[in-house]
């Protein structure tokens, strides 16, 4: 989708008296969008093929006897289109009356109520009262078509967005329309529940409440939710998402001055054609629950005393750092650019006070950075975002299906092109043995071993190469000149004090760090949530604001540097100690 | 039993605890801390129908030192909280507290900055009575619960909870008066005083029995209505209007609905208008009955109160039949009504209208030519027509001064021009005339009601504007389209075109109006409420300056203020 052909012919059309110039061959609905005219539609979606299924997008084309569907009628030179004539209104009204004939009276118990296209259109274009006197057709109402997805066949209006997603975008074709005519209904094949790791997208696509996710069912009403733009942190894909939170008392500060902490209710994808198009994977979508576990949240600076971890003042906490000896700072791959900057600053100020501080010290890492610097300088993809235009072949040690666990959104995006025949996917056990060329892209695993690094060193630096980092900002660390913790394959020894800077996501900290944690003389951790990997061993804990609650910049696996706005959570009156922000910690630590 | 056998039949033995508790439980003297709407239902519980005296609790004591049960009734604001706490502290041990109404349980619907979110932030509470407001039956049940609690308790080792501190910080109580002379006495009247009709505070400077000056202090019931309105969709605000002038909720509902309808340009069909007229006039009779009953009670004629409250109960039953609620009705909808008036309701209403004149005649004969009543009210609190107009008085208080101004006649709405009734106008503008006007207005309201019942048109009650008017329940339960429209009209509301309107009707207390400004959203950008009683309070200092202190009570009662709409 991101890479459309270059040659563009223009056609002039007139929509509601307004002249627009659009690409030849595009359909009326796209032309209308360009003219700023909204045409109601259920089945049309930019990321899916066009079927003209729902008949909601009727428009009147001058000279044509019948109404045309705006989603499937290509524009022609000089076409005159009306989107709000009496005939169009009658058509829309009739379409909605037909759709509503068999629609169950579920709005009060339906999760989609309030953000339902059918409701919105009925209010805007439909009839206010019904003429239907017969009984409605009854179908299966809560059919669990996977662990997460529940299908209500009665609510379905048969727009087939879900089946088209399943066959075109996902490629598994698990959802189908069964039977024909009045008996048509959406279903999975008998005994084959949805296995797709992108199944959550069909819920977003469903214009009504026919497909709902167990995770969000009966949890909240759309108007109770606040929406915050963010970047998913559960893998390195960097999908653009919207966080929906539920506040109990929006805007009203209690007498105790504490506003209740909002709960994340769901994550939804935001459109970004460069990264995730309109989609996101299930792992990211439903991987936010750690964030709602308030009991795991680090609220205050803590120090381990004889009675266990005890809350202390920040001043008392910093005293623990005195006379502690040599330090290793470890920044994990989920730490955002803002955080990296202040850790660097902290290290600098400590060095000025004659302390020995190293950030992510590892010989393997340094060697990697040296090798990679040549790629940054010479590769067309360099440090910046990968440019897929013109790439005809992908070389990887795994098939794109196997890649779903590591880089789900990359796999989904490239997989579509592979199935369409626009891209060749070559699976080679050792991708770096294939000679490089400008139209080839290489996807390789993280070079944890010495051999892998040596092989990378020998490889052409002018190639299009992506390392499939796992953590949200590992690529960002590389760009900052710091070796990601993911590179640590072995245990190594460390008898120094370790200060670990990490941000909790659904995944634990990097495997390689476990050894460092276990061997550290004294372990200090700055994080937003407790993690079982280090909770028993830690000596001092500093609270950070969780990633979803701060403005954070992350660089994804393809090198897109993206800003996550996060949840605007706190009332300005909230004491800083409860915010746990870097504004609080950074100046204080520099005084040590 | 051994001992009792020997003592004979006339003597029984029991524990001292039990006797004392039995005595305490059956002779509770309540301290009525009436703050707002709930106080009216508390008065109903004392009234003839419910008769709290049956439980040994008829002696309402406004002095804390004579009371042992504090019934707090109404919305507690931060400004009022220290007063409630102080009066509680002044009560003798043992003492009990009843929190009447949802506002005192949790803050209720007033999730706004001036309102304390529950009485237990201020006092230790024994019984919570939910309801908005609770019915008198609920008050009686709560009383019985407290009786049971007392009987269970241990007397000898009574555990007092009165040391529990308040959980909120109280604002400083100010006394905004500058004495004019040095040899005078400053006397504080209210906000907790039976004759201030709610939580009005009058600060009086006295020279002996003469009032040198008077400064009213309001805001003890400021609940933030206008700010709340900015955060509510148009339909959501209707229940709040009930609690503005809580003596005439039906009339408030009509006023608000008409204002929003004016903003949207909606006209009601004839039947809807006629039912609204019935609602308004019922509210007027009910409000005037209460006004006169408490007026007479304040001046010392307690009998009238019981007569009027008996009639008010009958009206409440009628309203319940009409709207589904006896007190806070929320009867109107934007562009219509919550439900139609049934034929049975109309029959019962006309039967009631045949009985009511008898009570009004009784009141008339009890008071109108009563020598003491006339001495207390004639030439007291005289308002000249010019003064009344300059202070912006409206309603009965204005007409008592001889100004013929009634919105029903002068700017007719809801088809009032079709009804035959007279605007009663007084001559002297004194407290007696204000009494007399209300008495006569009830008779005129009966005329209107009779005409409305006889000539009630058939047809729909709601305007045909589906974007605004909610479909009927029957349609919602059977039609998909109606369900969607209902869902969206309720959950998303509807948007008015940018603009502003002012619309007012003749409430029992005078011109009650809403100014609504819309900036095109589904919520109003600004709502301002024109309160007739606020003007009445403003004129009080003018009227009682240089008069006797006994006239203060008469003057205030004759002006009939209601704090719910003054403080808003």
Q: Scanning every residue of chain A, which has its alpha carbon at the shortest distance from the alpha carbon of B168?
A: A255
Q: How far apart are CA B470 and CA B493, in angstroms?
A: 10
CA-to-CA separations, B255 to A32, B94, B455, in angstroms, rounded:
45, 46, 23
B479 touches chain A (CB under 8 A): yes
B432 touches chain A (CB under 8 A): no
Contact call for residues B338 and B323 (beta carbons, < 8 A): yes
Q: Which residues of A165-185 are buried (b: 16+ CB within 10 A; e: fewer)?
A: bbbebbbbebbeeeeeeeeeb
Helix locations, B455-523, DSSP H: 473-478, 480-491
Contact call for residues A282 and A271 (beta carbons, < 8 A): no
A573 touches chain B (CB under 8 A): no
Q: How far apart are CA A206 and CA A111, in angstroms?
A: 12
Contact call for residues B217 and B201 (beta carbons, < 8 A): yes
Q: How far apart are CA B203 and CA B189, in angstroms?
A: 6
Contacts of B530 (CB under 8 A, 6+ apart): B502, B504, B511, B512, B513, B514, B515
Q: Which of A101, A102, A105, A155 to mutate to test the interface with B (most CBs of B within 10 A)?
A: A105
Q: Which residues of B242-279 are buried (b: 16+ CB within 10 A; e: fewer)?
A: bbbbbbbbbbbbbbbbbbbbbbbebebbbbbbbbbbbb
Test B167 with A255 for CB contact under 8 angstroms. yes
Q: How far apart are CA B473 and CA B491, in angstroms?
A: 16
Sign, Cα dihedral of B61, B65, B68, B73? positive
Test A120 with B488 for CB contact under 8 angstroms. yes
Contact call for residues A284 and A232 (beta carbons, < 8 A): yes
Contacts of A127 in chain B (CB under 8 A): 481
Q: How far apart are CA B363 and CA B301, in angstroms?
A: 11
Q: How far apart are CA B535 and CA B519, in angstroms?
A: 29
Q: Which of B119, B480, B523 to mutate to test the interface with A (most CBs of A within 10 A)?
A: B480
Q: Which of A98, A100, A106, A107 to mutate to test the interface with B (most CBs of B within 10 A)?
A: A107
Name which of A288, A225, A279, A330 is nearest A46 in CA terms. A279
Res. B59: pLDDT tops 50 = yes
Res. B167: pLDDT tops 90 = no
Whole-angstrom Cα Rg for chain A: 27
Q: How far apart are CA B310 and CA B303, in angstroms?
A: 11
Q: Which two three-digit tokens encode residue A102?
A: 């068999």
Q: Which two three-digit tokens encode residue B85?
A: 């706490």
Q: How far apart are CA A100 and CA B488, in angstroms?
A: 16
Q: How far apart are CA B531 and CA B534, in angstroms?
A: 6
Contact call for residues A288 and A262 (beta carbons, < 8 A): no
Contact call for residues B406 and B423 (beta carbons, < 8 A): yes
Test B485 with A132 for CB contact under 8 angstroms. no
Name which of A118, A68, A72 is nearest A98 in CA terms. A118
A421 touches chain B (CB under 8 A): no
Q: Scanning every residue of chain A, which has its alpha carbon at the shortest distance from the alpha carbon of B464?
A: A128
Contacts of A28 (CB under 8 A, 6+ apart): A13, A15, A39, A59, A61, A68, A70, A71, A73, A74, A75, A79, A81
Residues B76-104, mean pLDDT to the nearest whole number: 90
CA distance A129 to chain B (A): 5
Which pLDDT score, from 0 to 100, does residue A358 have?
A: 86
Helix, coil or strand: residue B226:
helix
Give the lowest-confidence range in A541-545, B37-41, B462-466, B496-500: A541-545
Question: In chain B, what percentage of residues exceed pLDDT 70?
Answer: 99
CA-to-CA separations, A178 to A163, A175, A212, A355, B477, in angstroms, rounded:
11, 9, 19, 71, 31
**What does the angle CA A109 – CA A112 – CA A114 come to, to the nearest 5 degrees?**
95
CA distance B151 to chain A (A): 36
B51 touches chain A (CB under 8 A): no
By the 10 Å C-beta count (0-12 exposed, 13-18 middle, 19+ buried), A206 is classed as buried
Contacts of B77 in chain A (CB under 8 A): none
Contacts of B351 (CB under 8 A, 6+ apart): none
Q: In what helix (H) or strand (E) does residue B356 lie, and over which residues does it extend?
A: helix B343-363
CA distance B490 to chain A (A): 10
Test A249 with B111 for CB contact under 8 angstroms. yes
Q: How many helices (H) and strands (E) does chain B have?
A: 23, 12
B521 touches chain A (CB under 8 A): no
CA distance B166 to chain A (A): 12
B481 touches chain A (CB under 8 A): yes
B458 touches chain A (CB under 8 A): no
User: Which residues, in sequence order, are bridge partners of residue A473?
Assistant: none
Name which of A176, A201, A167, A239 is nearest A420 in CA terms. A167
Q: Which of B120, B483, B484 to mutate to test the interface with A (most CBs of A within 10 A)?
A: B484
Test B480 with A100 for CB contact under 8 angstroms. yes
Contact call for residues A547 and A238 (beta carbons, < 8 A): no
B484 touches chain A (CB under 8 A): yes
Q: Scanning every residue of chain B, which has its alpha carbon at the shortest distance from the alpha carbon of A126?
A: B481
Test A123 with B480 for CB contact under 8 angstroms. no
Q: Which two three-digit tokens encode residue A152?
A: 């209500």
Name which of B530, B506, B505 is nearest B516 in CA terms. B530
A208 touches chain B (CB under 8 A): no
Q: What is the pLDDT along chain A (592 residues), one digit of tens a residue?
A: 445 555 678 889 999 988 999 988 899 999 999 999 999 999 999 999 999 889 999 999 998 999 999 999 999 988 999 999 999 999 999 999 999 999 999 999 999 999 999 999 999 999 989 998 888 889 998 899 999 999 999 999 999 999 999 999 999 999 999 999 888 999 999 889 999 999 999 999 999 999 999 999 998 999 888 889 999 999 999 999 999 998 755 444 544 455 566 789 999 999 999 999 999 999 999 999 988 887 788 877 889 988 888 988 878 888 887 766 788 888 888 888 888 888 888 888 888 877 888 888 888 888 899 999 988 888 888 777 888 888 899 999 999 999 998 899 999 999 999 999 999 999 998 888 888 888 899 999 998 888 888 888 888 888 889 999 999 999 999 999 999 988 886 555 667 888 888 888 887 788 778 877 888 888 888 888 888 888 888 988 888 878 888 778 899 999 999 988 888 665 544 444 444 444 444 444 544 4
Res. B278: pLDDT tops 90 = yes
What is the per-residue pLDDT across B279-328, written as a single tens digit (0 to 9) for each?
A: 999 999 999 999 998 898 888 888 888 888 888 999 999 999 999 888 89
Name which of B78, B173, B148, B163 is nearest B119 in CA terms. B78
């Amino acid at each position: 989708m991101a890479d459309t052909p270059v040659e563009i012919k223009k056609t002039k059309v007139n929509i509601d008296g307004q002249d627009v110039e659009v690409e030849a061959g595009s359909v009326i609905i796209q032309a209308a969008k360009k003219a700023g005219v909204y045409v109601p539609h259920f089945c049309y979606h930019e990321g899916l093929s066009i079927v003209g299924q729902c008949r909601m997008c009727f428009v009147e084309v001058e000279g044509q006897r019948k109404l045309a569907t705006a989603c499937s009628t290509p524009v022609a030179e000089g076409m005159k289109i009306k989107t709000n004539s009496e005939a169009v209104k009658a058509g829309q009204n009739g379409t909605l009356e037909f759709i509503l004939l068999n629609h169950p009276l579920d709005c009060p118990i339906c999760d989609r109520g309030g953000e339902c296209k059918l409701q919105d259109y009925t209010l805007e274009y439909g009839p206010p009262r019904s003429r239907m006197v017969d009984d409605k057709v009854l179908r299966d109402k809560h059919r669990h078509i996977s662990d997460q997805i529940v299908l209500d066949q009665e609510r379905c209006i048969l727009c087939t967005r879900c089946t088209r997603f399943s066959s075109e975008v996902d490629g598994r074709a698990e959802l189908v329309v069964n039977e024909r005519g009045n008996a048509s209904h959406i279903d999975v094949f008998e005994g084959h529940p949805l296995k797709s790791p992108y199944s959550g997208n069909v819920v977003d696509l469903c214009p009504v409440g026919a497909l709902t996710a167990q995770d969000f069912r009966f949890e909240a009403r759309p108007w109770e939710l606040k929406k915050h733009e963010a970047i998913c942190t559960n893998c390195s894909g960097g999908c653009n998402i919207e966080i929906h939170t539920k506040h109990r008392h929006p805007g009203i500060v209690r007498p105790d001055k504490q506003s209740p902490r909002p709960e994340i209710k769901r994550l939804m994808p935001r459109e970004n054609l460069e990264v995730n198009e309109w989609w996101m994977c299930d792992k990211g979508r439903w991987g936010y629950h750690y964030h709602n576990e308030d009991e795991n949240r680090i609220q205050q600076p803590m120090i381990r005393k004889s009675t266990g971890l005890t809350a202390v003042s920040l001043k008392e906490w910093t005293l623990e750092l005195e006379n502690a000896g040599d330090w290793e700072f470890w920044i994990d791959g989920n730490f955002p650019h803002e955080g990296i900057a202040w850790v660097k600053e902290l290290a600098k100020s400590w060095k000025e006070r004659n302390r020995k501080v190293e950030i992510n010290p590892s010989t393997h890492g340094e060697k990697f950075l040296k090798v990679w610097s040549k790629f940054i300088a010479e590769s067309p993809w360099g440090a910046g975002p990968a440019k897929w235009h013109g790439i005809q072949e992908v070389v990887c040690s795994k098939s794109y299906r196997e890649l779903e666990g590591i880089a789900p959104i990359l796999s989904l995006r490239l997989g579509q092109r592979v199935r369409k025949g626009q891209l060749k996917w070559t699976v080679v056990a050792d991708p770096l043995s294939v000679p490089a060329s400008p139209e080839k892209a290489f996807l390789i695993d993280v070079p944890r071993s010495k051999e892998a690094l040596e092989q990378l060193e020998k490889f052409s630096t002018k190639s299009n190469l992506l390392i499939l980092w796992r953590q949200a900002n590992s690529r960002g660390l590389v760009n900052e000149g710091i070796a990601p913790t993911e590179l640590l394959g072995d245990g190594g020894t460390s008898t120094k004090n370790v200060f670990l800077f990490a941000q909790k996501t659904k995944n634990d900290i990097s495997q390689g760090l476990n050894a460092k944690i276990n061997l550290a003389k004294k372990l200090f951790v700055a994080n937003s949530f407790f993690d079982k990997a280090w909770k028993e061993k830690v000596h001092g804990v500093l609270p950070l604001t969780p990633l979803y609650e701060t403005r954070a910049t992350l660089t994804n696996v393809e090198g897109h540097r993206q800003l996550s706005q996060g949840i605007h959570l706190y009332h300005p009156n909230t004491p800083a100690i409860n915010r746990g922000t870097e504004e609080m910690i950074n100046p204080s630590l520099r005084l040590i | 039993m051994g001992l009792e056998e020997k003592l004979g039949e006339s003597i029984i033995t029991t524990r001292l605890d039990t006797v004392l508790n039995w005595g305490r439980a059956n002779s509770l003297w309540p301290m009525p801390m009436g703050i707002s709407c709930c106080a009216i239902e508390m008065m109903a519980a004392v009234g003839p129908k419910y008769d709290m005296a049956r439980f040994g609790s008829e002696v309402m004591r406004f002095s804390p030192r004579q009371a042992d049960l504090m019934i707090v009734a109404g919305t507690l604001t931060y400004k009022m909280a220290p007063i409630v706490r102080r009066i509680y502290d002044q009560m003798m041990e043992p003492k009990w507290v009843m929190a009447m109404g949802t506002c005192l349980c949790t803050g209720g619907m007033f999730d706004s900055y001036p309102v304390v979110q529950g009485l237990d932030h201020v006092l230790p509470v024994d019984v919570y009575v939910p309801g908005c407001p609770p019915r008198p039956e609920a008050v009686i049940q709560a009383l019985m619960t407290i009786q049971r609690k007392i009987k269970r308790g241990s007397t000898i080792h009574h555990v007092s909870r009165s040391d529990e501190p308040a959980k909120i910080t109280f604002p400083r109580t100010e006394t905004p008066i500058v004495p004019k002379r040095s040899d005078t006495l400053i006397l504080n009247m209210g906000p907790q005083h039976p004759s201030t009709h709610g939580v009005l505070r009058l600060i009086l400077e006295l020279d002996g029995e003469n009032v040198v000056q008077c400064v009213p202090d309001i805001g003890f019931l400021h609940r933030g209505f206008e700010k709340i309105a900015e955060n509510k969709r148009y339909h959501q605000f209707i229940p709040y209007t009930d609690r503005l002038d809580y003596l005439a909720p039906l009339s408030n509902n009509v006023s608000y609905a008409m204002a929003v309808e004016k903003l949207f340009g909606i006209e009601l069909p004839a039947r809807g208008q006629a039912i609204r007229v019935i609602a308004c006039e019922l509210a007027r009779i009910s409000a005037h009955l209460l006004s006169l009953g408490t007026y007479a009670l304040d001046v010392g004629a307690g009998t009238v109160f019981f007569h009027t409250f008996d009639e008010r109960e009958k009206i409440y039953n009628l309203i319940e039949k009409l709207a589904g609620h006896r007190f806070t009705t929320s009867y109107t909808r934007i562009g219509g009504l919550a439900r139609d008036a049934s034929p049975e309701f109309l029959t019962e209403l006309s039967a009631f209208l045949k009985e009511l004149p008898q009570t009004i005649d009784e009141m008339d004969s009890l008071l109108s030519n009563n020598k003491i009543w006339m001495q207390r009210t004639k030439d007291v609190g005289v308002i000249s027509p010019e003064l009344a107009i300059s202070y912006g008085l409206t309603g009965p208080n204005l007409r008592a001064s001889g100004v013929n101004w009634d919105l029903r006649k002068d700017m007719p709405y809801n088809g009032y021009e079709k009804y035959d009734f007279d605007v009663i106008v007084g001559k002297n503008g004194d407290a007696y005339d204000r009494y007399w006007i209300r008495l006569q207005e009830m008779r005129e309201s009966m005329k209107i009601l009779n005409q409305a019942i006889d000539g009630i048109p058939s047809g729909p009650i709601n305007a045909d504007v589906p974007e605004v008017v909610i479909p009927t329940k029957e349609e919602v339960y059977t039609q998909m389209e109606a369900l969607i429209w209902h869902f969206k009209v309720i959950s998303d509301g509807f948007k008015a075109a940018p603009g502003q309107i002012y619309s007012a009707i003749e409430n029992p207390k005078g011109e009650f109006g809403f100014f609504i400004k819309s900036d095109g959203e589904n919520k109003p950008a600004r709502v301002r409420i024109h309160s007739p009683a606020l003007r009445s309070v403003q004129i009080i200092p003018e009227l009682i300056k240089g008069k006797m202190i006994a006239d203060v009570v008469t003057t205030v009662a004759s002006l009939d203020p209601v704090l719910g709409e003054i403080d808003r």
